[in-house]
Amino acid sequence: KAGVTQTPRYLIKTRGQQVTLSCSPISGHRSVSWYQQTPGQGLQFLFEYFSETQRNKGNFPGRFSGRQFSNSRSEMNVSTLELGDSALYLCASSLGFGATDTQYFGPGTRLTVL
Amino acid sequence: DQQVKQNSPSLSVQEGRISILNCDYTNSMFDYFLWYKKYPAEGPTFLISISSIKDKNEDGRFTVFLNKSAKHLSLHIVPSQPGDSAVYFCAARGNPRSGAGSYQLTFGKGTKLSVIP
């Protein structure tokens, strides 16, 4: 079974631009979560989607948004990019939306904002 | 406010010996805990998990211990192998059905394990 895939793997943008990252979950998985990883803050939760509905959102500004499609694929969007948005963005999928559902991560998208 | 803490940023262990990675949490509503391993340029890989109703879970060379009263968990790797060299993340999750806010995972900042041949 194929794992979680994320595209693109690397991205370079300039301040003020916007960016869209894509995530395809493991086949059959219906829940997708997004995380931001930076050296100083570790992995920080962005949001989680299940059945096309945002179930939970982390403490990030409104410039960060996401959505999930009927095939469970998900996208996240960052508008008006800032230098501090440079990070590894990780997507994780799980079978369902529950306490013991294990999240499996993709390889991440490395975003650099210049 | 860091709810999940991994106080050792790095750990070096000789090949064949035991590696012990520690994790402390502050939120008593957490009831499910996971360990992930991460190599550079890759996403975290799930290793092992434990529910708060247990105090130990084993999977091959990996054992996780949970001490709820101390709000502490540890990952033991025996024997350690050079391929275990990676960053290890501890993660915790609450259960909204028991009063926690959500199912989201809260991660520690990681411990870099180096296994020396």
Chain B nearest CA to A14, separation (Å): 22
Cβ atoms of B48 and B62 closer than 8 Å: yes
Query: Distance (Å, rounded) from C-alpha A83 to C-alpha B2?
Result: 24
Instruction: Inspect the interface and report whether the beta carbons of B103 and A4 lie closer than 8 Å.
Output: no
Looking at residues B43-57, what average pLDDT do you find?
Answer: 94
Q: DSSP secondary structure string, B55-98?
A: SEEEETTEEEEEETTTTEEEEEESS--GGG-EEEEEEEEE-GGG
pLDDT score at A1: 66
Q: Which residue of B has its CA nearest to A91?
A: B43
**Residue with structure tokens 């540890």?**
B74
pLDDT score at B96: 66
More confident residue, A97 or B115: B115
pLDDT score at A18: 97
Alpha-carbon distance values, B87 to A35, A36, B68 (Å): 17, 16, 24
Query: Among B6, B105, B106, B112, which would you mutate to test the A interface (most chain A Cβ atoms within 10 Å of its Cβ)?
Result: B105
Task: Extract long-range pairs of A58-66: CB within 8 Å, 24+ residues apart.
Answer: A58/B104, A60/A36, A66/A34
pLDDT score at A102: 87
The total of other beta-carbon atoms located within 10 Å of residue B66's CB is 19
Taking the alpha carbons at both ends of chain A, their separation in whole angstroms is: 37
Q: Which residues in chain B are closer than 8 Å to A35, comparing Cβ atoms? A: 107
Chain B nearest CA to A81, separation (Å): 23
Going by pLDDT thresholds of 50, 70 and 90, the confidence category of residue A42 is confident
Q: What is the largest CA-CA distance in chain B?
A: 46
Tokens of A44: 């920080």
Instruction: Inspect the interface and report whether the beta carbons of B42 and A58 lie closer than 8 Å.
Output: no
Instruction: Inspect the interface and report whether the beta carbons of A98 and B103 lie closer than 8 Å.
Output: yes
Instruction: Inspect the interface and report whether the beta carbons of A56 and B97 lie closer than 8 Å.
Output: no
The letter for the amino acid at B83 is: G
Q: Which residue of A has its CA nearest to B51?
A: A100
**If you count residue pairs, one on A and one on B, with CB atoms under 8 Å apart, how many are there?**
61
Least CB–CB distance from B104: residue in A48, A102, A106: A48
Check whether the bond before B79 is cis (ω within 30° of 0). yes
Evaluate if residue B100 carries a pLDDT over 60.
no
Looking at residues B70-77, what average pLDDT do you find?
Answer: 97
Q: Which residues in chain A are closer than 8 Å to B36, comparing Cβ atoms? A: 105
Query: Distance (Å, rounded) from C-alpha A88 to C-alpha B39?
Result: 13
